[in-house]
Amino acid sequence: MPFVRGARLSKISAGVLALSLVSLSACASRGNDDGGFRLFGGGDADEAPAASISVNGYLWRASLDTLAFMPLVSADPYGGLIITDWYSSEELPNERFKATVYILDSRLRADGLNVALFKQVRGADGQWTDAPPSAQTEVDLENAILTRARQLRLSNIRG
């Protein structure tokens, strides 16, 4: 038999792989005990987690309603993230804003919402430069979202 380079190494690798799989399958949980883990499934179909939205629906809807005047770039209802594009009003065309809203909780709470606001100002050369937004503007935007979320919740309870 002629020498084939790597033939013996591939047989050893296949043997190690097979032994590893057998060893790991022995660790798999059997029966109704809660210990261990299941390597290749084996669980009931009822045990599969249902896909659900883990953010508060009122905060989500209120955020979209409050930021409806700004163009939307991305909205992820499962992650609770809303990103808008730059918005410039007709009254102040040399100033533009961008908002990012994070919904952090599935409960309707003030600390379950975080708004990040970004501002740019157009210079004399026509280039946009970053400027710090007013902290009060971020707070006002958060309060507007929270107020709208409370309104939505109350309207759902009443009717």
- Specify the residue for token string 């038999």: 1
Q: Which domain holds residue 22?
A: 7-47
Judge if 27 and 74 occupy the same domain.
no
- Rounded Cα distance between 103 and 100, Å, is 10
CATH number at residue 86: 3.30.530
Q: What is the pLDDT of residue 99?
A: 97
Q: Tell me the pLDDT of the chain averaged across its residues.
A: 81
Which of 85, 110, 79, 88 lies closest to 100 in space, CA to CA?
85
Q: Is 74 exposed, middle or buried (0-12, 13-18, 19+ CB in 10 A)?
A: exposed
The reply to whether 99 and 117 lie within a common domain is yes
Q: What is the mean pLDDT of the segment spanning 30-47? A: 52
Domain-embedded: residue 1: no
141 and 105 share one domain? yes
Tally the domains of the chain: 2
More confident residue, 91 or 43: 91
The answer for residues whose C-beta is within 8 angstroms of residue 116's C-beta and 6 or more apart is: 99, 100, 101, 102, 138
Q: Is the pLDDT of residue 36 over 90?
A: no
Same domain (yes/no): 71, 133:
yes
- Please check whether residues 154 and 126 belong to one and the same domain: yes
- Distance between CA 67 and CA 70 in Å, rounded? 6
Report whether pLDDT(41) > 70: no
Does residue 110 share a domain with residue 83?
yes
Q: Do 144 and 83 belong together in one domain?
A: yes
In a domain? residue 2: no
Share of the chain above pLDDT 70, in %: 66
Summarize pLDDT for 51-96 with one digit per residue, the tens: 566 889 999 999 999 999 999 999 999 999 999 999 999 999 999 9
Q: What is the pLDDT of residue 156?
A: 87
Q: Compute, in degrees rounded to 10, the torsion defined by CA atoms 54, 55, 58, 59.
A: 180
Q: pLDDT above 90 covers what percent of the chain? A: 62
